[in-house]
Amino acid sequence: MKRTIKFIIKGKVQGVGFRWSTKNWAEKNNIKGYVQNLSDGSVKIIANITDIKEFIKEINSLNNPFIRIKKINYTLLNYREYKTFSIKI
C-alpha cells in the first residue's frame, strides 16, 4: 500500500545536485511527489512510496560524490496522490 511520506534530509544536500539526482532516481523508479530546498539548508522530499526503509537506503546511495547526508527524518502524512515527481523552488 502506498503512503505519503515527508522526508527531511540534513547534511551537504544543497548546491550539490541533490534535488536533480533525487528527481532522476524517482522518475526511473516511478515515484511520485516532489523535492524542495528548505531555508535551513536541508531538503524536503514528499513521496508516495510503499517501503520507507528501501526509500531511505536508495536516497543514501544516490550516485553523486558531492552529497553528504548526515540525517534523514520522516513523517507519515495524510495520503495525497501525486501525478509526477518535481523539483519545487
Question: What domain count does the chain have?
Answer: 1
| CA atoms lying within 13 Å on the CB side of residue 60 | 10
Range 18-40 average pLDDT: 97
With the C-alpha atoms ordered 22, 24, 30, 34, is the resulting torsion angle positive or negative?
positive
For residue 41, give the CATH number of its domain: 3.30.70.100
Helix-strand-coil split of the chain, %, nearest 5: 20, 40, 35
Separation CA 44–CA 5 (nearest Å): 10
What is the chain's mean pLDDT, rounded?
96
What pLDDT score was predicted for residue 64?
86
Q: Mind listing the pLDDT tens digit for each residue in 51-86?
A: 999 999 999 998 789 999 999 999 999 999 999 999
- The pLDDT, as a whole number, for residue 74 is 98
CA gap 30, 28 in Å, rounded: 6
Q: Looking at the predicted structure, is the pLDDT value of residue 32 above 90?
A: yes
pTM for the whole structure: 0.95
How many contiguous H segments (helices) and E segments (strands) does the chain have? 2, 5
Q: According to the model, what pLDDT value does residue 81 have? A: 96
Q: Which residues are catalytic?
A: 19, 37
List the domain range (segments joined by +) for residue 16: 3-88
Mean pLDDT over 32-47 rounds to: 98
